[in-house]
């Protein structure tokens, strides 16, 4: 019961924060969010808010007592004076306690602190009111984020909400769509760096030249030599296209939209076009921005001579018009990065707007050896014949296929340990996560070979 009550109190704070944000009190909501130490990983469910709860309570009260409840009452002048006096006393006592602590640790500053409290507490004495600063340390040069020890992710979310409120303050429908789209913004680092992508040196260089360098050194991309606005990574599945995009998100230090089908496609008429419009407007307002769309062929598939439906035509037209807007100099810091396994299935008009196309090939021998070094023990790696045989047998394997092969070999290798553990024949010991059995690998390679 105590746990349930504690959870209810916490949920009320989330509801209050959500209500304040939706009504434009962004700064107040941020202060409450930080002071209550709410987690950014939680959000209020879509089917509930404070207004719904209050409305249901009013209906229940009306049905039970035949009248509506009075939620707020007007207090008399005597009660107001008493409450203001109590608040003033509480503020003075709190300030005095803090001063006494500082006086014990820093006796030199005692006179100045007492004088400061006297000045603060005598302010507006005719109104019997004490006025104190909300941020008592604001003169020390620290930002509000440092005062509250606000994580970078929380600060980014606050900026996103403020931007949405500024763009769509008079349109609640588009504001709701913008809030949904903003959930696709990557606010924390993905911790995937260029060195984590084994092999693909030519691809990494091409991606840096097409995406990273124009954002970092834009002075070289002016006049007729404008940077690429649409980049397509294509190649067999499992070759590392998405991992390259994650490395770009980590290394570029810019706003990164990770868009999927559920973010843009809606069953309601006209909503998909609105989602695309809001997506690009948010990207422009948060530039420099990278819009990443994985498996872009689901957006505009090449249907040949097939006649598209009316909603599909509107969706396609809105998308292409927004992509044309990317090409203008006004939006030079917004880049579309897309991946696909089958570029021949993409609509020709969309493919033309993806100007730079980079082929991500299967790993060569050096790259495959580098991947196996992550999984094989030193005992196997020191045997040149074993290494050459494994690398040769995985000639047509992708990076994902090699990872799957090693994972299956690991499960087969540790299965005897599991059986001994189930029978309590051996205690749990520290495992070294590496493959030691060449026989298991050879057996799997023979089984998986075409």
In this structure, are residues 197 and 321 in contact, taking their beta carbons and an 8 Å threshold?
Answer: no
- Sort 402 into a burial class: Cβ within 10 Å, 0-12 / 13-18 / 19+: buried
pLDDT-derived band at 150, boundaries 50, 70, 90:
very low
Task: Tell me the per-residue pLDDT of 294-329, one tens digit each, with 9 for 90 and over.
Answer: 888 776 666 554 555 566 677 777 778 877 776 555
Length of the chain: 450
Give the residue with greater pLDDT, 115 vs 413: 413
pLDDT above 50 for 143: no
Q: How far apart are CA 288 and CA 444, in angstroms?
A: 47
In this structure, are residues 355 and 314 in contact, taking their beta carbons and an 8 Å threshold?
Answer: no
Task: Tell me the per-residue pLDDT of 154-208, one tens digit each, with 9 for 90 and over.
Answer: 666 777 777 787 778 777 788 888 887 787 777 667 788 888 888 888 888 988 8
What DSSP line would sit under 240-270, residue for residue?
SHHHHHHHHHHHH-SEEEEE-HHHH--SSTT
Q: In 3D, which of 209, 252, 245 has the Cα closest to residue 228?
A: 209
Domain residue limits, the chain: 1-45, 157-359, 365-448
Average pLDDT for the chain? 75
Task: Tell me the per-residue pLDDT of 358-371, one tens digit each, with 9 for 90 and over.
Answer: 998 888 888 888 88
What CATH number does domain 157-359 carry, 3.30.1330.10, 3.90.700.10, 3.40.605.10, 3.40.50.300?
3.40.50.300
pLDDT above 80 for 80: no
Residue entry with tokens 């602590």:
101
Q: How far apart are CA 95 and CA 100, in angstroms?
A: 9
According to the model, what pLDDT value does residue 222 have? 74
Mean pLDDT for 93-120 is 49
According to the model, what pLDDT value does residue 350 have? 81
């Amino acid at each position: 019961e105590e746990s349930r009550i504690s959870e209810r109190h916490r949920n009320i704070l989330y509801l209050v924060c959500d209500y304040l944000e939706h009504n434009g009190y962004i700064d107040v909501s941020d202060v409450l969010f930080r002071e209550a130490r709410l987690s950014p990983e939680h959000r209020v469910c879509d089917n509930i808010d404070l207004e719904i709860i209050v409305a249901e309570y009013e209906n229940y009260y009306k049905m039970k007592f035949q009248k509506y409840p009075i939620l707020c009452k007007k207090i008399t002048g005597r009660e107001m004076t008493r409450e203001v006096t109590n608040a003033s006393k509480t503020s003075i006592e709190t300030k005095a306690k803090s001063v006494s602590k500082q006086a014990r640790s820093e006796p030199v500053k005692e006179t100045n602190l007492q004088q400061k409290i006297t000045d603060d507490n005598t302010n507006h004495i005719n109104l019997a009111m004490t006025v104190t600063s909300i941020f008592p340390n604001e003169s020390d040069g620290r930002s509000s984020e440092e005062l509250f020890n606000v994580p970078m992710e929380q600060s980014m979310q606050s900026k996103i909400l403020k931007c949405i409120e500024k763009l769509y303050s008079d349109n609640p429908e588009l504001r709701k769509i913008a809030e949904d789209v903003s959930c696709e913004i990557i606010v924390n680092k993905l911790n995937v760096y260029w060195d984590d992508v084994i092999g693909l040196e030519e691809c990494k260089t091409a991606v840096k030249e097409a995406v990273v360098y124009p954002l970092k050194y834009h002075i070289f991309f002016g006049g007729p030599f404008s940077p690429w606005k649409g980049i397509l990574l294509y190649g067999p599945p499992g070759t590392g296209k998405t991992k390259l995009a994650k490395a770009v998100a980590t290394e570029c230090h810019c706003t990164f939209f990770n868009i999927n089908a559920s973010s843009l496609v809606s069953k309601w008429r006209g909503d998909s076009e609105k989602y695309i419009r809001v997506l690009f407007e948010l990207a422009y307002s948060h530039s420099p921005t990278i819009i990443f769309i994985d498996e872009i062929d689901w957006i505009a598939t090449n249907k040949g001579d097939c006649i598209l439906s009316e909603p599909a035509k509107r969706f396609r037209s809105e998308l292409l018009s927004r992509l044309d807007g990317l090409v203008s100099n006004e939006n030079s810091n917004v880049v579309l990065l897309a991946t696909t396994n089958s570029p021949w299935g993409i609509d020709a008009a969309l493919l033309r707007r993806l100007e730079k196309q980079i082929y991500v090939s299967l790993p060569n021998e050096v790259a495959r050896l580098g991947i196996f070094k992550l999984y094989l023990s030193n005992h196997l790696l020191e045997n040149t014949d074993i290494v050459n045989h494994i690398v040769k047998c995985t000639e047509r394997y992708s990076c994902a296929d090699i990872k799957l092969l090693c994972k299956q070999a690991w499960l087969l290798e540790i299965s005897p340990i599991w059986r001994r553990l189930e029978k309590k024949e051996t205690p749990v010991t520290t495992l070294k996560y590496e493959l030691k059995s060449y026989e298991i690998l050879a057996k799997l390679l023979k089984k998986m070979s075409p």
